[in-house]
Amino acid sequence: MVMTRTLALLGCLIPFAAFGQGAEVAFGTMQQDSSLPVEVSADQLSVNQSSGTAIYTGNVVIGQGDMRLAAPRVLVVYAEGAGQIDRLEATGGVTLVSGEEAAEADRADYNVADGTVVMVGNVLLTQGENALTSDRMVVNLDDGTAQMDGRVRTVFQPDEEAPQGEGQ
């Protein structure tokens, strides 16, 4: 399913390096059941047959299993003559969530054929207490990697069970 690859990017976000202007991020393989239904809810739906698009607006939530994509607006563009989804464009503040992992950005563009998700604007990636931020993140869903660009910042929280030094 389309949402399978889109939402699978949330699984196991483990940063390799986040120094300087760019960072590579590994994404673990998430076992997503594509046989589960994809549910879309929104305040409004507008379909344009001539352009092959559909626009969901107002509190849009797309879900499959325990994963969710939420945004104020999602444009669905269908492949010409195929009746299949070519790409999704979520705008207005996008949140992708699965368990404790989450990714947020101003917008997210998912190209189904390329298997890439480009998140742009105030990108925030979290896993538990750890966080990475950047201006742009490109996720390759086929090989499970991502590239973060534009003033990358990482915050790693110390292990709560790590022993503290004397006098601390």
> Is residue 166 domain-resident?
no
Range of the domain at 132: 2-155
Residue 39 lies in a domain: yes
Does residue 164 lie within any of the structural domains?
Answer: no
The C-alpha angle with vertex 83 and arms to 111 and 85, in degrees rounded to 5, equals 20
Asked whether residue 162 is assigned to any structural domain, the reply reads no
Greatest Cα pair distance, the chain, in angstroms, is: 71
- Asked if 141 and 11 touch (Cβ cutoff 8 Å), the reply is no
d(CA 151, CA 7): 25
| Residue 33 covered by a domain | yes
- Give the number of other CB atoms < 10 A from CB of residue 82: 9
pLDDT beyond 50 at 20: no
Of 20-24, 58-62, 131-135, 151-155, which range is least confident?
A: 20-24
What are the distances in angstroms from CA 148 to CA 23, 26, 125, 160? 5, 11, 10, 27
Q: What is the pLDDT of residues 30-86, one digit of tens each?
A: 334 445 667 889 999 999 989 999 999 999 998 766 668 899 999 989 888 777 788
pLDDT in tens, 123-133: 998 877 888 89
Q: Would residue 85 count as lying in a domain?
A: yes
Interatomic CA distance for residues 106 and 102, integer angstroms: 14
- pTM for this entry: 0.73
